[in-house]
Structure 1
Amino acid sequence: MIVSLLIIGILFVLVITTYNRLIRLRNNAREGWSGIDVQLKRRADLVPNLVTTVKGYATHERQLLEEITNLRNQSLLGQTVPDQAKTASELGRSLKRLMFIAEAYPDLKADGNFLKLQQQLSEIEDYLQKSRRYYNGTVRELNIKIESFPSNIIARIFGFAKFDFFALSDESDRMVPEINLS
């Protein structure tokens, strides 16, 4: 009888500790996503100012500016993690193209507002990269716990689901963007 109660007690403690660990990991992943979301919104908020500044100098780059504006609007919509990652990658590529095009306009490159926007974009991209790493690390830990025995049993009982990684959809996204501030 005492042995049975001891085994039940140990199992009960195991379930509670595993459940609490899964809760902590899930909340860390949500916090990580929140960090990405904040940086994506900061970048989206910067885009209209950047487009307006470039528009004054590069009037014949209209198609790219419209593409950036459309991607910016799309990035503000509620999306799944893979969809958000795809949109973020496309917006990042378009912004890189915009920075390369800006090199052809000496007056634009010298514009104080444009330089400030470039600096802000560079900082946001750095924070975004750090947020992606944190998020993916917390998702990795959560997913391992959800898939590992015996925590997978507890995860299944309490309805814990794996999170998606914030994966880069294009190999060129793995390259560090070059932003010339001179």
Structure 2
Amino acid sequence: MTKSTATIIMVVLVIVTLPVFFITIPILIFSYNALVRKKNQVEFSFSGVDVMLKKRYDLIPNVVQSVQKIMTHESTLFEKITALRSKISDGLDTKERFGLENEMSQLLGQLSVTMENYPDIKSNENMMHLQRTLAEMEEQLSASRRAYNASVISFNNSVESIPSNIMAGFLEYKPKIYFEATEIERSTPQVGQLFK
């Protein structure tokens, strides 16, 4: 092969392969960066849920102590809340933790209904403040859960959609799980039963 033939072949190879690199490399970089941003957004959103769960975790002992002094006959509910609170820890996987947090939300809802039944408790200014704080915290937790689920849907769409699913497969990213309500929480509450 002569030098001129080799030069022609090299020029043709560069002309043919160079556009591929200028198209493929930016697409790969864009896909990678988009997936990383979405993964980080899911983790950030989960930390928002975690912050609210920690706030609730810290607030529950105060609520329980205040209410226990007034309502000794509702001690089983407080015992359940305290026992569940001790089960929730950082060592649990996401699905187990979400399940326990959903159960905690349900018990705290029962606590609110119980407090509604006793006007003497409601008239206590401290108790009303704690009840408002608890309701506000549950609203913030609900908003954090929605933000987390929005981040998860964006991430999961990228992990499962073409062409970003190729990069996600390469990075071994798997779809994240949503924070979902349990079957009990989806059913219509029987308010009459709660007042018994």
TM-score normalised by structure 2 residue count: 0.84
Amino acid at match of 1:160: Y
User: What residue number does 1:44 align with?
Assistant: 57
User: What residue number does 1:70 align with?
Assistant: 83
- 2:160 corresponds to which of 117, 130, 147: 147
**Superposition RMSD in Å:** 1.9
User: What residue number does 1:89 align with?
Assistant: 102
Q: 1:129 to 1:172 in 2, by over 3 A?
A: same
The answer to whether structure 1 residue 129 and structure 2 residue 142 are counterparts is yes
Cα drift, residue 98 of structure 1: 1.2
Residue 103 of structure 1 aligns to a residue in which SS?
Answer: helix
Which consecutive unaligned segments of at least 5 residues does structure 1 have? none
The answer to whether structure 1 residue 9 and structure 2 residue 11 are counterparts is no
- 2:178 corresponds to which of 165, 168, 175: 165
Cα drift, residue 78 of structure 1: 3.0
Q: 1:32 to 1:174 in 2, by over 3 A?
A: farther
- Cα distance between partner residues in 2 of 1:157 and 1:55: 54
Amino acid at match of 1:128: L
Q: What is the CA deviation profile of residues 31-54 of structure 1, one whole-angstrom value per residue up to 9, with x for unaligned ones?
A: 000000011111111110111111
Residue 38 of structure 1 aligns to a residue in which SS?
Answer: helix
- Cα distance between partner residues in 2 of 1:131 and 1:42: 12
After TM superposition, which residue ranges in structure 1, 4 or more long, deviate above 4 angstroms?
Answer: 173-176
- Cα distance between partner residues in 2 of 1:173 and 1:38: 25
TM-score normalised by structure 1 residue count: 0.90
Deviates more, 1:88-97 or 1:68-77: 68-77
Contact 1:35 1:131 in 2 (8 A): yes
- Cα distance between partner residues in 1 of 2:145 and 2:72: 34
Cα drift, residue 175 of structure 1: 7.5
- Cα distance between partner residues in 1 of 2:132 and 2:26: 52
Which consecutive unaligned segments of at least 5 residues does structure 2 have? 1-12, 192-196
- Cα distance between partner residues in 1 of 2:81 and 2:19: 63
- Cα distance between partner residues in 2 of 1:139 and 1:38: 18
Q: 1:175 to 1:38 in 2, by over 3 A?
A: farther
Cα drift, residue 19 of structure 1: 0.2
Cα drift, residue 86 of structure 1: 1.1
Contact 1:57 1:105 in 2 (8 A): no
